Structure 1
Amino acid sequence: MEANSNTDRMSNQILIVGATRGLGAALAALYSKNPANHVFATSRSSAPASKSDITWLTGIDVAEHDVGQKLVSQLPASTKFSTVIITAGYFGLETFDSPDWEKQTKMYTISAISPVFVVHHLVKAGLVDKGSKVIIVSSESGSITLRHEKEGGGNYGHHASKAASNMVGKLLSLDLKPQGIAVGLVHPGFMRTEMTKGVGFDKYWDAGGAVTPSEAAESLASFIDTFDISKTGEFWAPRGPGDIGTAESVLGKDLPTPLQLPW
C-alpha cells in the first residue's frame, strides 16, 4: 500500500516497530481496524500477507546499526506520527552456570541501543514532533526494585537489558520533553507468545496469569489513549500487578491498575 498524502493529513498515523508477531502483530491488527488510523509497521524481511490496511516498512532489523536511516528512508516526508510503539524484543535464556555473550549482546542491542537510534532519526526527520507519543515496550523484569529472592537470579541479559531500556526511555523523555514529545515505558503483561514458549516459560502461563497478545494489545492501547506529557519518563504496567510475581512481596497489597512500576 502506498501512502496517500491527503488521507495521511486526516488520519491518525501510528508506527509499530516489530510488528510481524506477538504483541506487535496484535497492535497492528487492533489499530488498523479503525479507519481513522493509518498504521505503519516494520518487518525484518518482506511484508507478511495481510488483509489489513497497513503500510509495511520492510528490511527493518532493530539489531542493525543503520536501522534508523533505513526506517526514515521508507517514510514520506509528510508523515507525522501521533504514536510510535517500539515492541521489538529478543529473549535468550541464560543461567549463572551458562552465560552467553552473543545472546547478551543481542538483547542489549535490541532493547537498549536500537531505540535511541530509531527515535533520534524519526525526530530529526520531523516525523515525530509536539504532541507525539513514543512508547517503549520494556518489562517488569527490568525493575531492580522488583527483583526478589523469591524469583532468584539468572537471565542476566534479559533482565539487565530491560533495565537499560528503562534508562534509555527516561533519558529520551528528558531530551524530548521540551519539544512536547512524551516517552513512556511499559510492561505489557506476561504473554502467551512464541518468545516465552521458546525459553520454556509456557509452563508458567496458567499460574502466572499469562494473556494472549491480543488481550495485552487491548489494555496497552487503552493505556496509550490516556498517556500524555504529564506521565513522560514513567514506567507503567497497564494490566496492573496481576502477572508480576513479586509485586505484593515488594510493593504491598491492594495495588491499582494501571500500576506505576518502580525502577
Structure 2
Amino acid sequence: MSTVLIVGATRGLGASLANAYAQSGSTVYATSRSASPPSTPAHDNIRWVPGIDIASESAGLALASALPPHAILDVVVVTAGYFVRESFDEPKWAEEVQMYTTCAVGPLFIVQALVKAGKVKTGINGGEDGGKVILVSSEAGSIGLRHEKEGGGNYAHHASKTALNMVGKLLSLDLMERRISVGLVHPGFMRTEMTKNVGYDEYWDAGGAVTPDEAAASLIPFIEGFTLAKTGQYWAPRGARDIGTAEDTMGKNLPTPLELPW
C-alpha cells in the first residue's frame, strides 16, 4: 500500500483524506499546527506530526526532519488554507499577508524541503513515475472563471490561490527530472468551518456544497489516476457542478473531471 502525507489534517478535507487513506490500508502521516494533535486518531494507520505551521518559514525543514528515516512518500497532499472575507471598501492588510503566506508561500517551502530531504518517491527516467504532489487550490484561483455576475472582492482569497497555481506549475517543471507529478485541484465547494466562518454557509444548498468526506471520496480516485502526463495541470475532479461561473465562461455539457482555465 502507499505512504501518504496530508498537510493540514486536523479538520475539513485534510481530516477526511487522512481517514479515508488510512482505512484503505495506506500508511498516513498527518500534520497538525498545534503541539497536541488529536489524542484518539480515527485509525491506527495515522501517524501524527504535530507543531507544523505551514505559515512558518521553518515548517518544511521541521516536517522533513520529523518524518522517520524509512518514510518515502508516494503521495503528498497540501490542504492547509486560510480565508478572511474582504471587500473593495474594506481590504485587510494583515489578513491578506496571512492568506498569501498560508496558501501560496508555505506550500512551496514544504514541498521543496521534502524533496531535498529525499522524502518523496523519485521515478526512473524512461520508466516508473515517482511520487505525486497534490496542492489543494480552488476554482476561486482561476482568472478565466471570474465573471461579472459574481462581482469582485475577496482579493487575497482569489489571488493567493492563483499564486498557488503558479507555484504548482513551476514545481512541476522543476520536479520533472525526478518524475514527480504535481497537480492543482479544486476539490469542491465544501461545508466546512472555514466556509461557514466567512458566511458562505448561506450558499451551501444553492451552490451544491458537499461534505469533506464527499470531496475526499472523489479526490482520492483522481489522485490515483494522476500521472506525469498531467503534471502541472489544474483540475476539478468533481467537474463543474459547484462552479457557478463554469457555463458562463466555458460553455455547457462540460466533462467530469474538468480541466480548469488558469
Report deviation, 1:79: 1.2
Could you say which residue in structure 2 is the equivalent of 1:86?
Answer: 78
* Identical-residue share of aligned pairs (%): 63
Could you say which residue in structure 2 is the equivalent of 1:28?
Answer: 18
Q: Is the 8 A contact 2:239 2:255 kept in 1?
A: yes
Report the aligned-residue RMSD.
0.7
Report deviation, 1:12: 1.3
CA deviation map 1:137-185 (0-9, x unaligned): 0000000000010100000010000000000000000000111000000
The residue identity in structure 1 corresponding to 2:8 is G
Q: Secondary structure at the match of 2:175?
A: helix
Distance 1:239 1:106 in 2: 28
- Give TM-score, length-normalised by structure 2: 0.95
Could you say which residue in structure 1 is the equivalent of 2:94?
Answer: 102
Distance 1:50 1:13 in 2: 17
Q: Secondary structure at the match of 1:81?
A: coil
Could you say which residue in structure 1 is the equivalent of 2:8?
Answer: 18
The residue identity in structure 2 corresponding to 1:112 is A
Distance 1:260 1:169 in 2: 15
The residue identity in structure 2 corresponding to 1:52 is H
Q: Secondary structure at the match of 1:23?
A: helix
Matched, 1:120 2:120: no
What 5-or-longer segments of structure 2 have no aligned partner?
Answer: 124-129
Could you say which residue in structure 1 is the equivalent of 2:255?
Answer: 256
The residue identity in structure 2 corresponding to 1:47 is P
CA deviation map 1:31-53 (0-9, x unaligned): 01022x10000001112132412
Could you say which residue in structure 1 is the equivalent of 2:185?
Answer: 186
Distance 1:74 1:38 in 2: 15
Matched, 1:226 2:225: yes
Distance 2:14 2:33 in 1: 13
Distance 1:94 1:51 in 2: 36
Distance 2:190 2:13 in 1: 8
Q: Secondary structure at the match of 1:96?
A: coil
Q: Is the 8 A contact 2:8 2:30 kept in 1?
A: yes
Distance 2:242 2:42 in 1: 33
Distance 1:47 1:73 in 2: 18
- Give TM-score, length-normalised by structure 1: 0.95
Could you say which residue in structure 1 is the equivalent of 2:160?
Answer: 161
Question: Among 103, 111, 117, which residue is 1:111 paired with?
Answer: 103
Distance 1:80 1:72 in 2: 11
Distance 1:40 1:82 in 2: 11
Between the two proteins, the alignment pairs up a number of residues equal to: 252
Distance 2:24 2:162 in 1: 34
Q: Is the 8 A contact 2:19 2:42 kept in 1?
A: no
Distance 2:144 2:84 in 1: 22
Question: Among 35, 49, 66, which residue is 1:57 paired with?
Answer: 49
Question: Structure 1 stretch 121-130 or stretch 194-203: which is displaced more?
Answer: 121-130
What 5-or-longer segments of structure 1 have no aligned partner?
Answer: 1-10
Distance 2:161 2:113 in 1: 22
The residue identity in structure 1 corresponding to 2:215 is A
Could you say which residue in structure 2 is the equivalent of 1:4?
Answer: none
Report deviation, 1:73: 1.3
Counterparts in 2 of 1:140-179, with a 5 A limit?
Answer: 140-179=139-178
Report deviation, 1:96: 0.5
